[in-house]
Structure 1
Amino acid sequence: MKGKLRLVLATLLSVFLFVSCGGSKEAASGDAKVKDTIVVSDGAEAKSLDPHATNDAQSSRVSVQIYDRLVEQGDNMEIVPGLAESWEQPDGKTTIFHLRKGVKFHNGEELKASDVKFSLDRMKASPQVSHIIGTVESVEVIDDNTVKVTTTQPFGAILSHLAHPTAAIMNEKAVKEYGDSYGQHPVGTGPYKFVSWQSGDRITLEANPDYFLGEAPIKNVIFRPIVEGSNRTIAIETGEIDIAYDIEGLDKDRLRNDDTVVFLEEPSLSIDYIGFNTKKAPFDNIKVRQAIATAINADDIIAAVYKGSGTKANSLIGPKVFGHTDEAKAWEYNVEKAKQLLAEAGYPNGFKTTIWINENPDRRDIAVILQAQLKEIGIDMTIETLEWGAYLDGTARGDHEMFILGWVSVTGDADYGLFPLLHSSTFGGAGNRSFYSNPKVDDLLMRARNSVDQEERKELYKEVQIIVQEDVPLYITAYKAQNAALQKNIENFKLKAAGHHRLYGVKFKSN
């Protein structure tokens, strides 16, 4: 009897470990038919699963599994059908979308054109994400399966912007039913349905059996935030998780050389930047910002923090983004010149300041290097670490002096890479956390946004980049590569250039 009891307890324990961990190598070596849970880990927790409430990467990486958009980005950034099976553009300001029929939301409601209108109108009313479709003037329901989107001016990048994760189509009934708590009860049409959110621990999703492209191969997805990068690496090595995003520092070489896991690394559309609150002294002084830019040795940051997985930047947008120019200024490291600029700004003996970071090891390491480099010109900088939600809220309000953050040109177009970070209409949570305002830049960005002449757009964006690199409201540390580590039994996982990796189609290899 004791032997049987031990056997039962051992069996129950193994089932518990399998369900809670999902990605254990022990489970992977068993019967593939019973492995139906994939565990994915990121460096921070999602802030909200309401696509109109936030635009951070961690939230989007979860929400893209739950929602669909009218159009989507293919593997090469091309626009492909989503909830709209086709569309036409009779003129530069009008796009008519024809919706797929029979698509259902996770609550059983059928997708209708009224849901599309509701979602895009709600997006336009959101301070966090309205800028993404700011040119949209109206959304009109033609019939239950047809929607007309009209822009105020011709806008060549409209389809790219409607493929953005925040342009998710939601169910009007569900949004109104949950009200202010909708971000914790999301309802989409996507391949995975929301199940639960245990704050600080995990978000659980399950496959949508009615998904219009077919049910996902893996039944359950668990997103687990593991803030400390080394712990994410250990979790992959031990099989505690199946996929880890954004492996950092020396751990990248460690996993590259580990033949028990797969390490993927590719160029991305991502940057890291050091920002200045230009509404606060002394950062309202351009020479102070230029002095700091001249005191930074980007090569040290690329070598020490990115371990060579990055290249020196001369703009907010990298070479893979439409509109990038090589003619913008890349700041050169020169301590004596930095001291001279600081003296000209009225701070010959430097000053004290504080830089905000969130719980991100790369940003912590950048801040430590920056702290040492600025000390060389007399600037005494204190590093303050905030929890991710408090960090986003505080920088949106403008409570900070300096900060480190990132941006991804998700659409692959300069409008998205420049407008949110630089235009004076996007102060705070919409993207412009440096509170930078330059009427000339505002004008150039609007002219480029409203043009359908791609060559004209390139010239306008080139001028923006040249001006902004001189004004330096943001210092770009590098153009970053992106990576993920995964167990060897994972198939069909691909890195998305914009960083919002899809799990639909990912499956476990058969033994």
Structure 2
Amino acid sequence: MSRAAYPKHLTGRKLVGRSFLAALIFLALFTVGCRSDRRLPERLQADFSRNTSDVLRLGLYGDVGDLSPIGHHGEYDRSICNLIHAAPLRIAADGSLEGDLFASWVSYPDETGRLIVDGIWKQDLKWHDGTQFDPKALGFTFEAMRDPANASPYAALASEVVDVAPMDRGRRIRIVFPGLSRRYLELLTAGLLPPHLLEGKTIPEAKIERRVNASDTFASVETGTSTQVLYTEYPVGLGEYRLADRKRGMFMELEAVHGAASETARPIFRRILVRCHSQFETLLNDFRQGRLDWMPVPSEIASKIEELQIPDARFCRYPNPSFLFWGFNMKKAPFDQMQVRTALATGIGRGAVRSKIPYDGTILTNMRISATATEAIVENAPETAQEAADLAHLLDGTGLKDSNGDGKRDMNGKPFAMKILVNEENLVRKLVAEEISSQLRRAGIDASVEAVSWSDLLGNRLVGDSWDSFLLSFQLPRSGNAVDLWHTPTASITDSLNYCGISDPDLDSILEQLDRWPEKASPSTYLGSISERLEAVRPGAFLFRPADVAAWHTYLSGPENEANIIDMRPSAWQKKGGNGGAAVSAGSPDTR
């Protein structure tokens, strides 16, 4: 993967402009009714209006994007992909690995230090189109990940796979990886691609045949015929639900596949319906009227929505896996000095920084890493005020002093200035950077913000040595295995995001123990030590961790046990009771 690509542990552009949208959304909620010219097909209108125990009705603010299992996934894409696709392994609720398409599996090192994974496939596997499963799908998926034309976030890891060898007439398979790293197992948790539909095609542009049923919403296509559709929009998978029907920007209809490989028990829900809303007021109205069981809530207006006191509604805040980080160039003076980094990281007033961020979340003073995000779920938690340390006083002890009385600090007798690099597409990040630079200027540092394009920031600026600091958001994997974020770059780390230049043997040792597979201890054994070591090294300032907010009706159980919204598995939820398929009752006037 090139540096200018979009690494899977780096978040950048999704939240652009939402601070301005929040006020518009809130105004619309209370000044106008719900307007929508796009109506659902009659059969789905009826389905969303009935609350039954075997149909789950989800609402989304926006749409589901890329449904390729090897693509870049947005806010809702991964959870839908987890329903449609299946992989050799999957991540369990506690963060451990368990078989999905594998009936059983073992992993072990060989005599040369390579990681071997032997898996036995489940029997009678079939794709959603009825085609018999061919074990070559795993090798085909790895090849697609490696292909630059597919721009897969798995490309770097997939390029290191040594061998994929079917055995025992395809009933078993052996995968050989070059080293004992748990990161390679991420490849085995990505859904498989169907070679019989995609061989010889570039995945983002690949089209497949789809037979049109009487219930489908394709315009001007005769029932019983076939039409060409994009695979990324109408995927065929091996998961416990198949995509029965879809109209972009409106809805998705998923049907349970009885006997699916990824099924561990009889499906709780016969169907999962997803209603996509371009306007939040229509989403909220459907939820209030009982036409939806669950919905996400924009965190910038979540508190206001809670004040509506919707009957039988529960709100929950999930810690987002990302964190906002002000990083320093430890390869450049004076940021190579621990005293300077400590003064900057601890002296910034985080309360003022927090005031520039419109989202729910938690102020950070250090990076507490947990093995699973469920440990940190916060519900209706008030914001904690953060008192600023005396930045000027802390800087006085670093050698950065005003030697000529001009109000600006010097370094080795020369004027000292520093820049904060941000990506120009992200408004909130620019506002935070301006607040930090304002505090620095008041403390005597000639600070400024430089906004550059995303490709220039990652592809050129941060790979050099001349920059001072950056403001970015990084995303932690659920296991907390951030070896590519903080480990000293080595040949085995093919896509290092250690822009700060951290090189600490003690931290490297802990990260290597955490990354090692087969594991000698659970991830939680190492995570506290990593947090402590990061605080000792001070590569930058951990500033903020956002929260994602969701609401659901109290008859629904399961969402409260999810680690986060991105990885939620709605197929495991359950409805308590239901009303036997009767039409929903209106809790407030329907303005649609």
TM > 0.5? yes
Aligned to 2:470: 402
2:311 partner amino acid: T
Determine which of 368, 387, 392 is the counterpart of 1:336: 392
Q: CA RMSD in A?
A: 5.2
Distance 1:74 1:279 in 2: 38
**Structure 1 partner of 2:32:** none
Q: What is the rounded CA distance, in whole Å, between the counterparts of 2:157 and 2:353 in structure 1?
A: 31
- Does structure 1 retain, via aligned residues, the 8 Å contact 2:86–2:237? yes
Aligned AA (1:296) = I
Partner secondary structure for residue 149 of structure 1: strand
Relative to structure 1, the CA distance from residue 230 to residue 62 in structure 2 (aligned partners, 3 Å threshold; closer, same or farther) is same
Partner in structure 2 of residue 476 of structure 1? 542
Matched, 1:502 2:551: no
Secondary structure, counterpart of 2:271 in structure 1:
coil
- Change in Cα spacing, 1:74 to 1:427, as seen in structure 2 (3 Å) is closer
Output aligned runs, 1:408-419, within 5 Å. Answer: 408-410=476-478, 412=479, 414-415=480-481, 417-419=482-484
Cα distance in 1 for residues equivalent to 2:476 and 2:42: 32
Task: Give the residue type in structure 2 aligned to 1:207.
Answer: E
CA 1:398–1:466: 2 relative to 1, 3 Å: farther
Alpha-carbon offset, residue 257 of structure 1: 6.4
Residue of structure 1 aligned with 2:346, choices 290, 294, 300: 294
Q: Report the count of equivalent residues.
A: 472
Give 1:168's match in structure 2, choosing from 191, 211, 218: 191
The letter for the 2-side match of 1:189 is L
Task: Please state whether the residue corresponding to 1:169 is helix, strand or coil.
Answer: coil
Larger mean Cα displacement after TM superposition, 30-39 or 93-102: 30-39
Conserved? CA contact 2:105–2:118, under 8 Å: yes
Confirm or deny: 8 A CA contact 1:314 1:476 kept in the other structure.
Answer: yes
* Deviation for aligned residue 1:115: 0.9
Q: Give 2:270's aligned residue.
A: 217
Q: 1:75 aligns with which of 81, 85, 93?
A: 93
Letter in 1 for 2:194: N
Q: Which moved more, 1:32-41 or 1:185-194?
A: 32-41
State the 1:96 CA deviation. Answer: 1.7
Which residue of 2 is the match for residue 184 of structure 1?
Answer: 232
CA apart distance, 1:124? 6.0
Distance between the aligned counterparts of 1:22 and 1:266, measured in 2? 30
The 3-state SS of whatever aligns with 2:299 is coil
Q: Which of 43, 49, 67 in structure 1 is aligned with 2:67?
A: 49
TM-score by length of 2: 0.61
The residue aligned with 1:139 is: 164
| Partners of 2:491 and 2:373 in 1: CA distance | 21
Tell me what 1:207 maps to: 255
Q: Which among 137, 152, 159 is matched to residue 178 of structure 2?
A: 152
What residue is the counterpart of 2:131 in the other structure?
109
**SS of aligned partner of 2:346:** helix
Q: Alpha-carbon deviations, 1:124-166, whole Å to 9, x = none?
A: 667722466787543221132322223334446766x3564xx
Q: What is the TM-score normalised by the length of structure 1?
A: 0.69
Q: Does residue 128 in structure 1 map to residue 179 in structure 2?
A: no
Distance 1:208 1:71, change over 3 A: same
When residues 349 and 423 of structure 1 are mapped into structure 2, their CA distance, relative to the original with a 3 A threshold, is closer
CA distance in 1, matches of 2:493, 2:446: 26
**Contact preservation (8 Å) 2:88, 2:99:** yes
- Give the secondary structure class of the aligned counterpart of 2:274: strand
* Deviating more after overlay: 284-293 vs 251-260: 284-293
The Cα of 1:299 is off from its aligned counterpart by 5.1
3-state SS of 1:454 partner: coil
With over 3 angstroms needed to count, the CA separation of the structure-2 counterparts of 1:57 and 1:256, relative to structure 1, is: same
* Unpaired stretches in structure 2, ≥5 consecutive residues: 1-34, 207-230, 375-386, 401-408, 463-468, 583-592
Structure 2: which amino acid aligns with 1:314? N
Q: Deviations over 1:56-113 (max 9, x none)?
A: 5544234223212222233333433311122234657333211222222234332232
Q: Which amino acid aligns with 1:335?
A: L
8 Å CA contact 2:326–2:540 kept in 1: the answer is yes
1:456-475 deviations in Å (ceiling 9; x for gaps): 98898777655544555553
User: CA separation in 2, counterparts of 1:169 and 1:222?
Assistant: 26
> Is the contact between residue 66 and residue 73 of structure 2 (CA under 8 Å) also seen in structure 1?
no
Distance in 2, matches of 1:210 and 1:274, equals 45
Q: Which residue pairs with 1:485 in the alignment?
A: 551
CA, structure 1 residues 480+429, in 2 after alignment: closer, same or farther (shift >3 Å)? farther
Q: What is the identity percentage for the equivalent residue pairs of Structure 1 and Structure 2?
A: 10
Q: Give the whole-Å Cα distance in 2 for the aligned partners of 1:241 and 1:366.
A: 36
Report if aligned partners of 2:314, 2:551 keep a CA contact under 8 Å in 1. yes
**Structure with greater helix share of residues:** 1
Alpha-carbon contact 1:266-1:481 (below 8 Å) kept:
yes
Contact preservation (8 Å) 1:260, 1:488: no
Superposed, 1:80-479 pairs within 5 Å as 80-89=98-107, 93-123=115-145, 128-130=153-155, 137-142=162-167, 143-155=169-181, 161=186, 164=189, 167-176=190-199, 178-179=201-202, 180-182=204-206, 184-185=232-233, 186-190=235-239, 191-193=241-243, 198=248, 201=249, 204=252, 206-207=254-255, 209=257, 212=260, 213=263, 216-223=269-276, 243-245=294-296, 247-249=298-300, 251-252=302-303, 254-255=305-306, 258-260=309-311, 262-265=313-316, 268=319, 270-276=321-327, 278=329, 292-298=344-350, 309-310=361-362, 312-315=364-367, 317-318=369-370, 320=372, 333-337=389-393, 339-340=395-396, 343=409, 350-351=417-418, 353-356=420-423, 366=432, 370=436, 373-377=439-443, 378=445, 381-382=448-449, 396-398=458-460, 402-410=470-478, 412=479, 414-415=480-481, 417-420=482-485, 424=489, 432=497, 434=499, 436=501, 438=503, 440=505, 445-446=511-512, 448-450=514-516, 452=518, 454=520, 465=531, 468-469=534-535, 472-478=538-544
Q: Larger relative contact order (C-alpha < 8 A, sep ≥ 6)?
A: 2
